[in-house]
């Protein structure tokens, strides 16, 4: 099929690159229509407008390939989980800072002699509080664009924390230990950013806000249950496994199209996954003994992903309550 570009359209190079991200069948059936829309939307715009339209076009193509559209099961599940994730990660960050403010501040905060290290370390620590609060505020106010920006910033804060752990710690044990404090922000930000934002562009109801606030309380309770990420408290390996397996099992509710309980389980995973694996590793005594547990988690994740990838047609917007 030859795609026709219409008079007034910008250089089609960006459009062709974005179109390559769509499934081949969709390109054959809708390519000319997408070309017309792209030409019309960029006819009076400059290079920046063209780049923005091409980026939006390409992102939606990736959503189609991965099944994360507004009409898919996975897309609707992520849209339901996103506000809960925002609340949970905000509750976790607030609880952690309040705990440290009582005189239990982490020793490493005062043991960084190099200012070049202190600045990103403080940015990671306080960013894990301030950015989630901005995110949950945007969710409660129904500001989807601001929430999307905050989610990307949250993922960046988490990535910064993981990078600091990798660069500052001398061995894998400590890298795994310190990165567990940052991975919740990284995973939560990515999960929120992947949700179809057309499903989030609505004014939240009172029930929605109540669920977000309940999730914030739950995020704080998760941190308390994990003893504020204290790796020195060795707990039963089965307890750590439950914090991973139980949320994954809730994803099986999608088989019956009951997405709300599945969304609740999905919202918990960013807070528990890596730290629970670390606790199991400590309890069972080594990384090689942890591999079977990791294998089970991967198998469960792939099965869940297969269930979520199925298309359910024109799924509508659903309230959290």
pLDDT in tens, 174-220: 788 788 889 999 999 999 999 998 899 888 999 999 999 999 999 99
Q: What is the pLDDT of residue 106?
A: 54
* Higher per-residue pLDDT: 234 or 305: 305
Residues of the chain with pLDDT > 90, as a percent, come to 32
Position 286 pLDDT exceeds 70: no
DSSP string over 199-225: GT-SPPPHHHHHHHHHHHHHHHHHHHH
pTM for the model stands at 0.80
Paired tokens of 300: 């469960």
* Ordered alpha helix ranges (H), the chain: 13-19, 24-42, 47-66, 73-99, 115-141, 144-168, 172-179, 183-194, 206-225, 237-250, 259-284, 287-309
Position 134 pLDDT exceeds 70: yes
Q: What are the pLDDT digits (tens) for 52-85?
A: 888 888 888 888 888 889 888 889 999 999 999 9
Cα separation of 234 and 240, whole Å? Answer: 10
Position 130 pLDDT exceeds 80: yes
DSSP string over 115-134: HHHHHHHHHHHHHHHHHHHH
Taking residues 136-144, report their average pLDDT: 94
Q: What is the pLDDT of residue 92?
A: 94
Position 125 pLDDT exceeds 50: yes
- Exposure letters 151-160 (e unless 16+ CB within 10 A, then b): bebbbbbbbb
Closest CA to 95 of 183, 185, 217, 192: 217
282 touches 231 (CB < 8 A): yes
pLDDT band for position 307 (cuts 50, 70, 90): low
187 touches 269 (CB < 8 A): yes
CA-based end-to-end distance of the chain: 47
Give bridge partners of residue 72 from the DSSP assignment.
311
pLDDT band for position 94 (cuts 50, 70, 90): very high
* Higher per-residue pLDDT: 194 or 314: 194
- Cα dihedral sign for 76, 79, 81, 84? negative
Q: What is the pLDDT of residue 318?
A: 42
Q: What is the pLDDT of residue 158?
A: 95
pLDDT band for position 320 (cuts 50, 70, 90): very low
* Higher per-residue pLDDT: 163 or 321: 163
* Higher per-residue pLDDT: 56 or 317: 56
DSSP state of 102: I
DSSP state of 9: -
117-121, 153-157, 171-175, range with greatest mean pLDDT: 153-157
* Higher per-residue pLDDT: 310 or 217: 217
Lowest-confidence pick of 30-39, 151-160, 279-288 = 279-288
Closest CA to 83 of 259, 216, 281: 216
Q: What is the pLDDT of residue 79?
A: 94
SS3 140: helix
């Amino acid at each position: 099929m030859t795609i026709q570009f219409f008079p007034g359209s910008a250089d089609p190079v960006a459009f062709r690159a974005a179109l390559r991200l769509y499934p081949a069948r969709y390109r054959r059936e809708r390519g000319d229509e997408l070309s017309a829309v792209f030409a019309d939307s960029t006819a009076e715009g400059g290079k920046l407008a063209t780049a923005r339209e091409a980026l939006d076009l390409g992102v939606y193509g990736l959503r189609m390939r991965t099944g994360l559209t507004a009409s898919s099961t996975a897309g609707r599940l992520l849209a339901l989980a996103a506000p809960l994730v925002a609340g949970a990660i905000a509750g976790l960050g607030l609880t952690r800072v309040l705990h440290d403010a009582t005189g239990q501040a982490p020793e490493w905060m005062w043991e960084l002699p190099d200012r070049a290290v202190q600045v990103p370390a403080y940015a990671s620590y306080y960013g894990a509080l301030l950015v989630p609060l901005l995110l949950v505020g945007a969710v409660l106010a129904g500001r989807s664009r601001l929430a999307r920006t905050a989610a990307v910033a949250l993922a960046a804060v988490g990535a910064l924390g993981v990078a600091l752990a990798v660069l500052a710690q001398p061995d894998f044990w400590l890298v795994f230990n310190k990165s567990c404090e940052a991975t919740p922000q990284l995973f939560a930000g990515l999960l929120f950013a992947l949700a179809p934002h057309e499903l989030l562009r609505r004014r939240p109801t009172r029930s929605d806000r109540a669920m977000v606030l309940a999730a914030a309380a739950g995020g704080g309770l998760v941190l308390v249950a994990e003893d504020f990420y204290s790796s020195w408290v060795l707990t039963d390996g089965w307890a750590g496994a439950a914090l991973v397996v139980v949320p994954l099992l809730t994803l099986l509710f999608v088989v019956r199209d009951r997405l709300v309980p599945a969304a609740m389980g999905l919202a918990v995973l960013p807070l528990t996954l890596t730290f629970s694996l670390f606790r199991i590793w400590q309890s069972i005594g080594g990384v090689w003994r942890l591999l079977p547990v990791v294998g089970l988690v991967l198998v469960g994740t792939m099965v869940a992903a297969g269930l979520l990838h199925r298309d359910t047609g024109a799924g509508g917007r659903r309230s959290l309550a």
